[in-house]
Amino acid sequence: MLVIQYLKNKGGGGLGDRIVGLISIKLMSKLLKKDFYILWERENIKQYFDYQKYDFSLLNIKSKDSKIYRSMDRQKKFKEYLMNSDELFTEEISFFSLNQEISQYLYKNKLFKEHNYIQDILNEYKIIYTDILRPTNYLLEKVNKLILDKRNIVGIQIRCGDCYMNSNSSHITDNDTDIHSKLLNIRNLCESKFDNDYNIFFTTDNLKILDDINFMFGESRVIYNNDIIQHIDKNAVDSDISKVFVDNYILSQKTDLLIICVNSNYGRLAALTSNHDQLYSFTTLDILNRKTLLSKHENLFI
């Protein structure tokens, strides 16, 4: 069996990073005809998602025939092994600590050359919130309180950097520069798509931008989750980390048009799992093709 693991006191990246690794391992398990499981210990997410079907902790298995594969932030570490080996992960339990898209390399292996990588991996992303991580009633109640009966919801995700949150990281991007002109272009797009009948669901790590969003679109049409902004790869500043999951679920499953920062795996996750194709780049407002979002690093199939 193949097991993706997020262990206590071990970093694994943010939600988007982790799901990249999770989908990669799930896809490889299907090709290799092995069982797939999740060992999620770092946070207790069971109040937000039901993943009992894949919960490794419920198996109570102890095996000496196991091996841990680590390639955190090193996508090409197992590239040659996956592309050229005739025998892969032969131990009883293969544990993985990774947040990169490595399954693509397996599709270059002669054993699996007849399989369609793009079709297969997009099918896995499609079921992330319906089969793999199924939202609990608790999470859905929080979602429904936010969106109520709103229609024509436009999701906007802007990633600026951890330095804007209650964390110790100095990571920063420049997505908040020239914010007015970007939002004006987005407003024009929304009005061309929905006339004046639309709402904005907004999520960001930089709360200062909320004022710009309210000014550009009108506060009455802006939906915002006021819970504390957190990054699950950092130390929690509040025990309720539901905002991470609620916001992504809304971006993914409750919008009619989605605008994301393509340098953010959080936004890419929402786009890859979205149930519509109205996907746009926040920076350029170009239409996004899902297959270009599968890996921020090497992508052999584009």
Phi, psi of 37 (to 5 degrees): -140, 160
Please check whether residues 72 and 150 belong to one and the same domain. no
Last residue in a domain, options 103, 135, 167:
135
Residue 190 amino acid letter: C
Please check whether residues 247 and 159 belong to one and the same domain. yes
- What integer best gives the mean pLDDT of the chain? 93
- pLDDT tens for 140-186 read 999 999 999 999 999 999 998 655 555 445 555 555 568 999 999 99
- pLDDT tens for 242-253 read 999 999 999 999
Please check whether residues 170 and 130 belong to one and the same domain. no
The pLDDT value recorded for residue 162 is 58
d(CA 221, CA 201): 9
In a domain, 302, yes or no: no
pTM confidence score = 0.93
Residues of the domain holding 73:
2-135
Containing H/E element for 144? Answer: helix 137-147
Q: Which residue has the tokens 């170009």?
A: 286
Domain total of the chain: 2
Please check whether residues 73 and 210 belong to one and the same domain. no
For 128, 158, 188, 263, the CA distances from 250, given in Å and listed in that order, are 13, 15, 22, 19
In a domain, 233, yes or no: yes
The pLDDT value recorded for residue 72 is 77
d(CA 36, CA 30): 8
In a domain, 301, yes or no: no
d(CA 105, CA 117): 10
